[in-house]
Amino acid sequence: MNYYLKVLQNYATFRGRARRSEFWYFALFNMIFAILAMFLDSVLGTTFKMGYGVELPYGYIYLLYFLALFIPGLAVSVRRLHDVGKSGWMYLIILIPIIGAIWLLVLFFTDSNTESNKWGENPKNTSS
C-alpha cells in the first residue's frame, strides 16, 4: 500500500525511476480499487445504460476513479521504463496491436539497470 501512496504523492512526476515493486504494487492496488469502484457502481445503480437492455459493468464512480488515476498510472509507467533504460516515449509501443502490449509487459517485468542512467540513480541502491 505504501507504493500506491508513493505513486499518488508523485502524481505527475515523469522524471526519475520506479522499481518493479513500486510499479506492480501500484498496479495491484489500482486493480483492486477499480473493481471496488465497479462494484459500488453496480450496488448504487450508477452503471451506464447503453440502450436495448445493454448495461455496462461500470459507471460514474469508476469513471471518476479512472480519470483521477490516469496521470499517476502513466507517470509510474514512464518512470518504470526509465528504470530499465528506455525513454518514456517507448510507452507508445502499446499502440502496436498485441505485440506492443506484450513487449511493454516484458519491459515492465525486466529488472532495473544496476548502474545509474540519465534518469537517475538506481532506486534499489537508494531506497533499500
- 49-83 pLDDT, tens digit per residue, is 888 888 888 899 999 999 999 999 999 999 999 99
Average pLDDT of the chain? 92
Residue 2 has pLDDT above 60, yes or no: yes
User: Helices 20-44 & 2-9, crossing angle to 10 degrees?
Assistant: 90
Give 9-21 pLDDT, tens digit per residue.
988 999 999 999 9
- Give the confidence band of 114 by pLDDT, cuts at 50, 70, 90: confident
Q: What is the C-alpha separation between 74 and 13, in angstroms, rounded?
A: 10
> How high is the pLDDT of residue 127?
55
Domain boundaries, the chain: 2-119
Judge whether 4 and 24 are in contact, CB under 8 Å. no
∠ CA 95-121-5, nearest 5°, is: 65
- Whether the pTM exceeds 0.85: the reply is yes
